Amino acid sequence: MDKVSCLEGFVIGEFQRVEDIFSIKDIMAKEGFLLVKAIPVGGRCVLLKGSIEGDIQDV
């Protein structure tokens, strides 16, 4: 398995404020994205993964 295929289905996002990373789950829930998993990856970046096909495209 190559590194690119490991990231298939993920979207990378970047926050304007680093502080928002610590409340990403709350922010996503308020916007109605309860099935989207957010994984902080350093700096202002976060990986987003949808549990159901299409969820991540709506973000």
Residues 19-51: pLDDT tens digits? Answer: 777 788 888 888 888 888 888 888 888 888 876
Retrieve residue 34's tokens.
Answer: 């309860």
Task: For the beta carbon of residue 27, count every other beta carbon within 10 angstroms.
Answer: 14
pTM (2 d.p.): 0.60
User: Nearest Cα to 10, choosing from 37, 59, 47?
Assistant: 47
H or E stretch covering 42:
strand 36-42
Q: How many CB atoms lie within 10 A of CB 46?
A: 19
**59, pLDDT greater than 60:** no
C-beta separation of 10 from 48 below 8 A: yes
Please give the structure tokens belonging to residue 48.
């987003």
